[in-house]
Structure 1
């Protein structure tokens, strides 16, 4: 673990898996959160697989209370997930209130408990319009709170905050990542639906990066 001072929040999606490989030399631990979303069961095994492949310890933390008490179409079943473009207004229904704030608070405590100095989150520029807890101001505020609230001054970092998903896909292409071994679809079925906002965004990013898309889609 010499020189490894970071913990990564890794979902098993394109963005966090890319960040995992991009910064693997400084990552000492990966953490996933099971908050009862439609797609957690598809994503988390992939997060575990990629961490294991890189020899990075991984833990999954259950946040079942969010599914029980929070309002979001992401927590209501596949039929509640809107279809269309990721930037469409109806995608706001997929917001899980303060999800990243809750996860980052736990991740910061986990990092300090394990003697780590940084927490990495793979939010990106395409998230900003829909998700308040992915925006630059939020990352800066959580970073300040983490520094103020830990003895060791743990930092919260969003290295991809200013990038598009296509930019991230280009990084993954250079890293040789097989994106068929990641999950995006919010419906969480046997295959990607190909029609929900995250599927549309995934397809556009892979096409823009010139990556052959081997994802299995329903359509």
Structure 2
């Protein structure tokens, strides 16, 4: 029997690649996604479709009831989603307070209940500038806590912690992944906006690797 692993799976490019990386590592994967009131909840639909196609157990956990405790982000509130590159200071409005600590805590609990020894999580270097809960210091500290918080030790696995978006894409290309089955845009409209920080980073990665992004974008 292959070892069990929980994959925090948003439906985006990074977690899609992590999901397949875990499968390539011969893990018995259990995917978990979260509805935290994000405007781009379309990613959850994409995640569900991928898990169905791969016959992977998939939980979607609704935590919108705690939105008032995680307020202030343009991803969940009335503020407009900022446009521009992730390096811009206005992108800090997309930070959801304590989001990854909350999500990882629940993923770890799920892993303990499954007797799974690992939780895979798609933090990467491109997010370090804006998101404190994607930085190595956070991941290392959270991993240390995860190993002592329960009778069963759970390791947080971040295969792309020091990788750029382009390097993640290269890994996916090597696995013959189809990124049409992902959603990255922070706006949950019919087509990707091409203007938010998430879209900018994604488009830059595809341009860097000289391949065409299969997603449809709104007219620029």
TM-score by length of 2: 0.94
1:26-81 CA-partner distances (Å, limit 9, x unpaired): 142000000001002x101111122222221100001103433421011125x611
* Contact 1:36–1:66 (Cα < 8 Å) also in 2: no
Q: How far apart are residue 165 of structure 1 and its match?
A: 0.4
Q: Paired residues, what number?
A: 216
1:78-97 CA-partner distances (Å, limit 9, x unpaired): x6110011211110000001
Corresponding position of 1:31 = 32
What is the 5 A alignment of 1:9-24? 9-24=8-23
Matched, 1:45 2:68: no
Q: How far apart are residue 20 of structure 1 and its match?
A: 0.7
Corresponding position of 1:213 = 213
* Contact 1:173–1:209 (Cα < 8 Å) also in 2: no
Q: What's the Cα RMSD here?
A: 1.2
1:157 and 1:201 map into 2 onto residues whose CA distance is: 23
1:63 and 1:160 map into 2 onto residues whose CA distance is: 26
Q: Which runs of 5+ in 1 are unaligned?
A: none
Q: Which runs of 5+ in 2 are unaligned?
A: none
2:156 and 2:193 map into 1 onto residues whose CA distance is: 33
1:53 and 1:4 map into 2 onto residues whose CA distance is: 21
1:101-127 CA-partner distances (Å, limit 9, x unpaired): 000000000000011000010010000
SS at match of 1:75: coil
2:28 and 2:63 map into 1 onto residues whose CA distance is: 23
2:172 and 2:135 map into 1 onto residues whose CA distance is: 22
TM-score by length of 1: 0.95
* Contact 1:8–1:27 (Cα < 8 Å) also in 2: no
- Runs of 4 or more, structure 1, over 4 Å off, are none
1:207 and 1:21 map into 2 onto residues whose CA distance is: 22
* Contact 1:86–1:201 (Cα < 8 Å) also in 2: yes
